[in-house]
Amino acid sequence: MADAKGRIEKLKKAINKYRYDYHVLNKETISIEALDSLKHELKKLEDEYPELVTPDSPTQRVAGEPLKGFKKITHRVPMLSLEDVFSEEEFSDWEKRIAKLLHISYTTELFSELKFDGLAVSLVYKNGVLDYASTRGNGKVGEDVTQNIKTIEAIPLRLEKDIKGEVEIRGEVIITRKGFEKINREQKKKGEAVYANPRNLAAGSLRQLDPKMTASRNLDFHAYDIVGDIGQKTHAREHEILRELGFKTDKEAHIAKKPEDIFKFKEKIEYLREKLEYEIDGLVIQINDNAIFDKLGVAGKAPRGAIAFKFAPKEATTIVRDILVQVGRTGKLTPVAVLEPIQVGGVTISRASLHNEEEIRRLGLKIGDTVIVGRAGDVIPDVRKVLKELRRGKEREFHMPKQCPVCGHKAERDKGGPLTFCLNKKCPAKHREGIYHFVGKNAFDIDGLGPKIVDVLLDEGLIQDAADIFDLIEGDIKPLERFGEKSAENIIRAIHAKEKITLPRFLIALGILHVGEETALDLADRFGAQEKIKEASLEEINDIENIGDVVTKSVYDWFRDPYNKRYLEKLLRRVSIEKYHQPSGKLKGKIFVLTGSLETITRGEAKARVRKLGGKTSESVGKDTDFVVAGSEPGSKLDKAQKLGVKIIDEKEFLKMI
């Protein structure tokens, strides 16, 4: 609570300062999106601690107090604003809240429409004729803009259908992008101020004291709401009625049965956004059934049954939890900011490269700072600015380590340049082949994660060693999609699917010199568990048939190397090894060699079955071979078996044995 209070105070001050810069001094010191991100954090904190809300909080600011010079109109029904959500998670939270309130385990039908970036107005018709029109104002009281509204050709002065009594239509006054650009060109020519965005222009044009000026602006109107009951039961029906009455409505609007449809729709619209005729800043999602919508009522200034699902901002604010140092293929030490996960440009990011020591100095970044993050070229996450005024005094300086964090060897700045390198030629970080091997077919076999992606992950500092692969999140890999690789979602799914692994595969994945498929199986058979292999003495390992002195020493040494020990611990915190069933069976000690192709069973299965029964398979025929299984078209192995007098069996016999 004390933390929240302190943070809220700091946020309010910062938001107020940036608001002043932007709206009073006309200076954009941080982007509107970053400012929104701060406001969003403040709103969330205040929702959590409502007792900390003060009247001077930026969240309590109501847009558009009425201008002098316009008659004031009190809305019969307040014009509410909508609560914003930015991510699928936040959207799902809203859905769950609704479901809970309604005591149902599913959400009812939703209605989804574009959220135009314009000015909300209310039009009141009396007996079918436009009586008066007003701006939203502060939600309760707006400005009478009837004369100006009448210049908008898209608004009918008389409804297409006669409706007795009063009916109120709400919608958005908007302007096309083209219209916006044209007017700004003219403004420039006249030496007058240009408008920041189509919304400001629409608002400015409607709030002109001279209707002729408004008329020259070619404003448009989209209706989205009918206030009062004229027989509409759903919001979808409302849209139909609006069209019947002579209004334009959003062509993309539709009923969505489930949230996934909305997520897909949002993705599509976000993609098309720049090509649309009008500026939009998200979707409006609401409960389609009006009775349920009304029953849900209002919370604060917003109806519970509707939400503004905003497009992902290209910049956002978040906190730097830590700065890690990653070592790349060349031995370069790269500081990487560990971020409180945040949505930027549609994906959640949790890390951003800080490139080098100089960059951290340039930013003035400390661990614990609040920062603005974006995605360079809309792809690679980067830290853009430190909001120093949000510091609490507990932030820590970062120092580039004097030792390589991977091998502990000396690390140094390169010839006075900004880059620091590990000087150890044998630094494990320099050996990425090990990671290719780790994700490969015989080891963790992670689908879609090939050397190319591993390279990028290493180069971007997203992973340091193979164990880090299990910490990746979708946003980390998302930028790689442009390389034509599998979708980030699929790769993350493939990684998580491999968090459990068999003992032999695990041993192979460790990349111990000389430990391939056969040796891994021999070790697994003999010891049955990773812990036992780790502690096995030289003699115990050497005792295994097929394992000679060189392999024995390699295995023994691997588990005693300090770097490997740390790595093994780290890896075991992320993955688990399936219980290994040591074979005990009738084929114990028997060695099989397969040759030719088998009809009813694959080679892999055949080998696995032999092993399960305690037997072994080998690729070459020798004196110790017990059986050669001859399939169709057997090769030279059959000749050799005959020469050596090894027993030859056919597939049928083999199947009986296994």
Binding-site sequence positions: 81-82, 113, 136, 172, 310, 404, 407, 422, 427
Handedness of CA 401, 403, 408, 411 (dihedral sign): positive
Size of the site for Zn ion (CB under 5 A): 7
Instruction: By CB under 5 A, tell whether 325 contacts Zn ion.
Output: no
Report the residue number, 262 or 404, with the smaller CB distance to Zn ion. 404
Non-local CB neighbours of 240 within 8 Å, separated by 6+ positions: none
Smallest distance, Å, CB 406 to Zn ion? 5
CB of 260 to Zn ion, least distance (A): 46
- Contacts to Zn ion from residues 111-150, by CB under 5 A: none
Strand 647-650 relative to strand 315-327: parallel, antiparallel, unpaired? Answer: unpaired
Residue 184, Ramachandran bin (φ over 0: left; ψ between -120 and 50: alpha; else beta): alpha
Name the one residue in this structure whose structure tokens are 């037997």: 615
Residue 3 neighbours by CB under 8 Å, 6+ apart:
none
Nearest residue (CB) to Zn ion, 137 versus 331: 331
Q: For residues 67, 72, 75 and 80, what is the CA-based torsion angle, rounded to 10 degrees?
A: 10
Tell me the per-residue interface mask from 426 to 445 with Zn ion, x by CB under 5 A, - otherwise. -x------------------
Binding mask 394-413 for Zn ion (x = CB under 5 A): ----------x-xx-x----
Query: Rounded to whole angstroms, how far apart are CA atoms 171 and 417?
Result: 59
Q: At what angle do helices 88-101 and 259-272 cross, to 10 degrees?
A: 140
Annotated binding site for NAD(+), which residues?
81-82, 113, 136, 172, 310
Cβ closest to Zn ion, residue 204 vs residue 405:
405
Residue ranges in 81-100 that form contacts with Zn ion under rule CB under 5 A: none
User: Tokens 């799902």 sit at which residue?
Assistant: 92
Q: How many CB atoms lie within 10 A of CB 137?
A: 25
Min CB(182)–Zn ion separation in Å: 60
For the CB of residue 459, give the shortest distance to Zn ion in the complex, in Å: 16
- In whole angstroms, the minimum distance from the beta carbon of 332 to Zn ion comes to 10
Q: How far apart are CA 75 and CA 122, in angstroms?
A: 8
Q: Which is closer to Zn ion, CB of 374 or CB of 461?
A: 461
Contact 640, 621 (CB under 8 A): yes
Q: Please state whether beta strands 306-310 and 84-85 pair in parallel, antiparallel, or not at all (unpaired).
A: parallel
Distance from C-alpha of 329 to C-alpha of 457, rounded to nearest angstrom: 11
Smallest distance from Zn ion to CB 427, Å: 3
Cβ 412 to Zn ion shortest distance, Å: 11
500, with CB counted inside 10 A (0-12, 13-18, 19+), is: exposed
Task: From 300-308, 359-367, 415-423, 581-589, give the range in contact with Zn ion by CB under 5 A.
Answer: 415-423
List binders of Zn ion among 283-312 (CB under 5 A): none
Given the complex with Zn ion, which of 27 and 565 has the nearer CB atom? 565
Select the residue interacting with Zn ion from 317, 424, 464, 595 (CB under 5 A): 424
What gap in Å lies between CA 198 and CA 177, rounded to an integer? 7
Q: Are 328 and 389 in contact (CB under 8 A)?
A: no
Extract the annotated binding site for Zn(2+).
Answer: 404, 407, 422, 427
For the chain, the residue count is 658
Q: Is 257 a catalytic residue?
A: no
Judged by CB, which is closer to Zn ion: 422, or 533? Answer: 422
Q: What residues contact residue 411 under an 8 Å CB cut-off, 6+ apart? A: 333, 400, 401, 402, 403, 404, 420, 421, 422, 423
How many helices and strands (H and E) does the chain possess? Answer: 24, 26
Tell me which amino acid residue 291 is: A
Closer residue to Zn ion in complex, CB, 373/404:
404
Instruction: For residues 120 and 208, give the distance between their C-alpha atoms in angstroms, rounded to a whole number.
Output: 16
Shortest Å, Cβ 430 to Zn ion: 7
- Of the pair 171, 331, the CB lying nearest Zn ion is at 331
Is the CB of 421 or the CB of 506 nearer to Zn ion? 421
Contacts of 271 (CB under 8 A, 6+ apart): none
- In the list 422, 446, 495, 512, the residue contacting Zn ion (rule: CB under 5 A) is 422
Cα separation values, 396 from 164, 359, 392, 420, 627, Å = 69, 16, 11, 21, 68
With beta carbons less than 8 A apart as the criterion, state whether 206 and 219 touch: yes
Instruction: Supply the minimum distance, in Å, between the C-beta of residue 465 and Zn ion.
Output: 12
3-class SS at 458?
A: helix
Dihedral sign, CA of 272, 277, 282, 287? negative
Q: Which is nearer to Zn ion, 118 or 428 (CB)?
A: 428
Determine the Cα–Cα distance for residues 499 and 511; give it in Å rounded to an integer: 18
Neighbours of 83 (CB within 10 A): 18
- Shortest separation between residue 409's beta carbon and Zn ion, angstroms: 5
Q: Nearest-CA neighbor of 215 among 145, 136, 114, 319? A: 145
Burial (0-12, 13-18, 19+ Cβ within 10 Å), 533: buried
Catalytic residue among 115, 385, 430, 607: 115
- Interaction site with Zn ion (CB under 5 A): 404, 406-407, 409, 422, 424, 427
Catalytic residues: 115
